[in-house]
């Protein structure tokens, strides 16, 4: 169990933290894919995620090409953090009040439009850093509503028995496509140009929209008739009443602030530290995603493993240590190997935290608590990019990454001592 709470302790009639049905013990790594609606969503996200990864790599490459500055890379990431902090909490309230599937159709459509605009501006040769920042801002605002809604929709589709497995497979879908997406981006940058990556991403959102349209009706939820601010206050009250949930959110926030922004600095590492070209950048991103995929599949296969707090502690420790090793490496093959560990450990820590929330937070609070998680997962990383980018400008990128790794390890020790139940959460 994840800790005491003053809120109702049941989800779909199952006691909070109670073991899943006996049949769950025989779950395979891909058990939740037997559910048609989840299978549709999962495959749609795979297609879309390939485009997302391609745009992520191409955008960072473009920004560094335009500015020649690690600070600019961090600044674009910081701009993405602003709407996440501004809108995420209200997005969680909305996700608990409206038809989640219809909301996702709107957010996915808007995200595709913004990617298309970015591609057109790049093709016309008029793209500037401030234009990229504006589009990054509005895209992040859409994502602030999209992410908690999509995550809250999953339990509606699969039920409590398959939540852990479905959450892990969501992570596997994102990180698995991170192997293919950056590799395709590296090829596209060299052969068909930066704008092509943005166009491909715009088209890829169609797959998710089609999947959402084909899904059967999602069960209705009982929503208490309150104002949005009352709903929001109630969500904060739940987190305050559950000390372990609060500590988990703080821990993952510190890791997101200090460690996970390493990926935003890859263009600087690629060119100024390891001295490899655009293809090398794609390989760096891809090997990080190979590790992430391994980590996600490991979590999926351990979906019934009860010592999730211990797993979270080990994964964050491994992440911090491997990030320090990557920062000190000047060998391209060694750096690729360390990125496998970095990516795998990062994914395991995020997936485990998400899993603990999905399993233990009552359905009537799930959207709001997941919006806090989304604000942390999406917001802290861009904010950290700004911090590490600034440190990198003054001390060099390797020292910035070392600073981040040490910060992650220190945060783990402090939070684990402050709230020991983090290590024993299940």
Q: Does residue 15 fall inside a structural domain?
A: no
- With residue 121 as reference, give the H or E element that holds it: helix 100-123
Most confident of 22-31, 154-163, 361-370: 154-163
Residue 302, classed as helix, strand or coil, is coil
Tokens of 379: 């917001």
Q: Does residue 406 fall inside a structural domain?
A: yes
pLDDT reported for residue 25: 46
Residue 311 pLDDT greater than 70, yes or no: yes
Q: Does residue 159 fall inside a structural domain?
A: yes
Q: Does residue 14 fall inside a structural domain?
A: no
Residue 26 pLDDT greater than 70, yes or no: no
Q: 136 is in which domain, residue-wise?
A: 32-215+228-424
pLDDT reported for residue 324: 93
Q: Does residue 149 fall inside a structural domain?
A: yes
C-alpha angle 126-129-134 in degrees, rounded to nearest 5: 95
Q: Report whether 242 contacts 5 (CB < 8 A).
A: yes
Task: Report strand pairing: 14-15 vs 10-11.
Answer: antiparallel
pLDDT reported for residue 406: 92
Measured between alpha carbons, how far is 264 from 78 in angstroms, rounded to an integer?
A: 11
Measured between alpha carbons, how far is 368 from 234 in angstroms, rounded to an integer?
A: 9
pLDDT reported for residue 271: 80
Q: Does residue 222 fall inside a structural domain?
A: no
Q: Considering only residues 92 and 345, tell me which one the structure prediction assigns the higher pLDDT.
A: 345
Query: Which residues, including other chains, have CB under 8 Å from residue 294's CB and lie 6 or more apart?
Result: 340, 344
pTM of model > 0.75: no
List, for residues 256-302, the tens digit of each pLDDT value.
888 888 877 888 887 888 888 777 887 887 788 788 878 877 877 76
Task: Please give the backbone phi and psi of residue 415, each rounded to the nearest 5 degrees, phi first.
Answer: -65, -40
Measured between alpha carbons, how far is 53 from 422 in angstroms, rounded to an integer?
A: 32
Measured between alpha carbons, how far is 111 from 91 in angstroms, rounded to an integer?
A: 16
Question: Binning pLDDT at 50, 70 and 90, where does residue 16 land?
Answer: very low
pLDDT reported for residue 20: 41
Measured between alpha carbons, how far is 262 from 239 in angstroms, rounded to an integer?
A: 29
Q: Does residue 327 fall inside a structural domain?
A: yes
Residue 404 pLDDT greater than 80, yes or no: yes
Q: If you average pLDDT over every residue of the chain, what do you get?
A: 78
Domain count, the chain: 1
Residue 98, classed as helix, strand or coil, is coil
pLDDT reported for residue 19: 38
Q: Does residue 91 fall inside a structural domain?
A: yes
E strands, 5-82, in order = 10-11, 14-15
What CATH number is associated with residue 369? 1.20.1250.20
Q: Which of 30-39, 45-54, 93-102, 204-213 has the lowest mean pLDDT?
A: 93-102
């Amino acid at each position: 169990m994840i800790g005491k709470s003053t809120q109702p302790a049941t989800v779909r009639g199952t006691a909070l933290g109670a073991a899943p049905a006996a049949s769950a013990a025989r779950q395979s790594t891909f058990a939740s894919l037997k559910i048609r609606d989840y299978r549709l969503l999962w495959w749609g996200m795979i297609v879309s995620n390939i485009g997302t990864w391609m745009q992520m790599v191409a955008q960072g490459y473009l920004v560094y090409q335009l500015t020649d500055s690690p600070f600019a890379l961090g600044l674009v990431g910081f701009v993405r953090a602003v709407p996440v902090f501004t809108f995420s909490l209200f997005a969680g309230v909305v996700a608990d009040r409206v038809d989640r599937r219809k909301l996702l159709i709107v957010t996915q459509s808007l995200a595709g439009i913004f990617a298309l605009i970015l591609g057109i501006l790049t093709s016309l040769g008029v793209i500037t850093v401030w234009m990229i920042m504006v589009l990054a801002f509005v895209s992040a605002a859409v994502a602030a509503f999209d992410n908690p809604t999509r995550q809250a929709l999953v339990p509606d589709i699969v039920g409590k028995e398959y939540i852990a497995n479905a959450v892990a497979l969501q992570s596997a879908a994102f990180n698995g496509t991170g192997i293919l997406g950056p590799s395709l981006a590296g090829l596209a940058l060299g052969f068909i140009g930066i704008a092509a990556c943005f166009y491909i991403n715009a088209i890829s959102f169609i797959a998710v929209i089609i999947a959402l349209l084909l899904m059967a009706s999602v069960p209705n939820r009982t929503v208490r008739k309150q104002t949005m601010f009352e709903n929001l206050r109630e969500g904060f009250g739940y987190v305050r009443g559950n000390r372990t949930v609060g500590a988990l959110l703080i821990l993952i926030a510190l890791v997101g602030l200090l460690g996970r922004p390493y990926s935003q600095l890859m263009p600087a590492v690629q060119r100024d530290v390891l001295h490899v070209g655009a293809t090398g950048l794609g390989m760096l991103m891809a090997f990080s995603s190979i590790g992430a995929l391994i980590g996600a599949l490991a979590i999926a296969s351990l979906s019934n493993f009860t010592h999730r707090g211990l797993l979270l502690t080990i994964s964050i420790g491994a992440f911090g240590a491997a990030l320090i090793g990557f920062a000190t490496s000047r060998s391209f093959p060694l750096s690729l190997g360390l990125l496998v560990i970095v990516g795998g450990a990062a994914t395991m820590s995020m997936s485990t935290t998400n899993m603990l929330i999905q399993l233990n937070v009552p359905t009537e609070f799930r959207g709001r608590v997941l919006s806090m998680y989304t604000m942390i997962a999406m917001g802290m990383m861009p904010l950290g990019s700004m911090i590490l980018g600034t440190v990198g400008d003054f001390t060099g990128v390797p020292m910035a990454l070392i600073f981040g790794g040490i910060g992650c390890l220190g945060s783990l020790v402090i939070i684990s001592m402050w709230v020991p139940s983090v290590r024993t959460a299940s």
